C-alpha cells in the first residue's frame, strides 16, 4: 500500500538588495521604468550579494521549511535542489546545502529542469517517499541566482530575472491530501529558445567566451511566448478533465511566471479568477525553478488555501520543459520566511 505524500512545510528566502525598474533602466539601454512595468509586470526583483551563491539562498529557505514542519534536518532522507545556476559545475549544489543544514542522513542531488525543475524534483521526491514509507521526509528546493548570468544590454532578459529560493518539505499526509497527479514533459525542438551557451563541455570557459558574453542567458521571447500560450491550456484542461473538475473547483493557481503580464492575460483568456491566480513575479521577478514553490507559499501567506483546497501548478522552462500538478492541501501546513525577506507589496506602478 502506497503512502499519500504532500507538502507539510514551506520556506522562502530573498536576498536583501532590491533592484527597481528605475535601477534596471539605468543599466539597460533602450528601456525606461514605465516600459518595463507595462510590458512585463515586474516592478522589483532581488539580487544576491557578492559572494552569495545558490546554496546560500537555498539553505535558509530549507531551514525555514523544516522549522515550519517541526522537523530536524537529520529526519530528511532526500534533498533535491532544482537549479540552473549551481554554485559550481561540480559537486551538486544539494551537497553544499546538505552540509550547511546538517542533513546527515539525506541522499542529495540536483535537478536541472530549468524553470519547471522544481516540479521535476517534486515528482522524484513524491515517488521516493510514497514507495518507501519508512524513509522519512524530503526537502525540495527551487533556487536561482540569475543576476550572475544576465547581459545588461539585453532587454529581453535583463528586465525580468531575479534571485531567490523557496523550499518545501514533503512527507506523509492524511488520505485524500497530497499530490494527486504530476505530469512532466519536454519539447526538445525548442532547446535553443532559452540557453546559456558558454561554460559547458561544448563551449568551455575561455577569454573568448567571456568577451562574447556567452555565459549569459539568451532567449527567443517570441518562441517562449508562443509555447506558453499553446501549452498552458492543454496542461490546465488536461488535469481538470482527467480528475472530473471545473475551474471553480480550484482554489489557487500557483504557476511559474516568466512574465506576469503574459500569465495574467492567458489566465484571463481561459476564465481563471484573478483572485485565485497567485502572482508573485511583480515583486520578485522570474526566479526560475523557485517561482512555483514561491507562489505556493504565497497562497498560504494570503490565506488562499486550507485543508482540502485544490491547487493547480503549471511551469515551463528552457529545454523546453514543462510540468503540471494537482495538489490537495493537507492540514496544518505552515510557512516561514527566512530573513531578510520581502513582506510588503510595492505600489502598483512602474
CA distance 294 to 137: 20
Helix (H) or strand (E) holding 323: strand 321-328
Q: What is the DSSP letter of 85?
A: S
Task: Provide the grid cell at 113.
Answer: 529542469
Catalytically annotated residue among 21, 112, 259, 286: 286
Largest CA distance in the chain: 59
Catalytically annotated residue among 95, 115, 255, 291: 115
Q: What do you get for the CA distance between the two ends of the chain, in Å?
A: 53
If you search the block for the grid coordinates 556567452, which residue do you land on? 214
Please, which residues have CB within 8 angstroms of residue 53's CB and are 6 or more apart in sequence?
87, 93, 96, 145
Task: Evaluate the CA torsion angle 114, 302, 271, 279 in order and state its sign.
Answer: negative
Q: What is the DSSP letter of 74?
A: G
- For residue 276, CA distances in Å to 42, 62, 298, 309 come to 19, 26, 11, 12
- Residue 243 appears among annotated catalytic residues: no
- Residue 256 appears among annotated catalytic residues: yes
Catalytically annotated residue among 95, 256, 259, 291: 256
Q: What is the DSSP letter of 277?
A: B
CA distance 171 to 176: 14
Strand partners, 78: 107, 138
- Residue 286 appears among annotated catalytic residues: yes
Active site amino acids: 115, 256, 286
Amino acid at each position: 500500500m502506497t503512502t499519500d505524500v504532500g507538502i507539510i512545510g514551506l520556506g522562502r528566502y530573498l536576498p536583501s538588495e532590491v533592484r527597481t525598474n528605475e535601477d534596471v533602466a539605468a543599466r539597460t539601454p533602450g528601456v525606461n521604468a514605465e516600459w518595463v512595468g507595462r510590458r512585463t509586470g515586474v516592478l522589483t526583483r532581488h539580487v544576491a550579494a557578492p559572494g552569495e551563491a545558490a546554496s546560500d539562498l537555498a539553505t535558509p529557505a530549507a531551514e525555514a521549511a523544516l522549522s515550519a514542519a517541526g522537523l530536524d534536518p537529520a529526519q530528511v532522507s532526500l534533498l533535491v535542489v532544482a537549479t540552473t545556476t549551481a554554485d559550481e559545475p561540480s559537486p551538486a549544489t544539494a551537497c553544499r546545502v546538505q552540509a550547511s543544514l546538517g542533513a546527515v542522513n539525506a541522499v542529495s542531488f540536483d535537478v536541472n529542469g530549468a524553470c519547471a525543475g522544481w516540479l521535476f524534483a517534486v515528482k522524484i521526491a513524491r515517488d521516493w517517499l510514497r514507495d518507501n514509507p519508512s524513509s522519512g521526509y524530503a526537502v525540495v528546493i527551487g533556487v536561482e541566482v540569475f543576476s550572475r548570468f544576465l547581459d545588461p544590454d539585453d532587454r529581453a532578459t535583463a528586465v525580468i530575472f531575479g534571485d531567490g529560493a523557496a523550499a518545501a518539505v514533503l512527507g506523509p499526509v492524511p488520505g485524500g491530501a497530497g499530490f494527486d497527479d504530476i505530469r512532466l514533459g519536454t519539447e526538445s525542438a525548442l532547446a535553443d529558445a532559452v540557453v546559456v551557451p558558454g561554460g559547458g563541455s561544448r563551449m568551455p570557459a575561455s577569454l573568448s567566451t567571456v568577451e562574447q558574453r556567452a555565459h549569459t542567458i539568451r532567449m527567443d521571447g517570441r518562441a517562449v511566448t508562443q509555447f506558453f500560450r499553446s501549452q498552458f491550456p492543454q496542461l490546465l484542461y488536461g488535469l481538470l478533465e482527467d480528475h472530473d473538475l471545473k475551474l471553480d473547483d480550484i482554489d489557487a493557481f500557483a504557476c511559474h511566471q516568466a512574465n506576469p503580464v503574459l500569465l495574467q492575460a492567458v489566465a484571463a483568456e481561459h476564465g481563471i479568477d484573478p483572485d485565485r491566480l497567485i502572482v508573485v513575479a511583480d515583486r520578485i521577478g522570474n526566479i526560475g525553478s523557485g517561482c512555483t514553490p514561491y507562489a505556493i507559499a504565497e497562497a498560504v501567506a494570503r490565506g488562499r488555501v486550507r485543508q482540502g483546497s485544490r491547487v493547480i501548478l503549471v511551469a515551463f522552462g528552457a529545454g523546453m520543459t514543462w510540468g503540471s500538478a494537482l495538489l490537495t492541501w493537507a492540514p496544518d501546513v505552515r510557512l516561514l520566511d527566512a530573513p531578510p525577506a520581502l513582506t510588503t507589496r510595492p505600489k502598483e506602478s512602474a
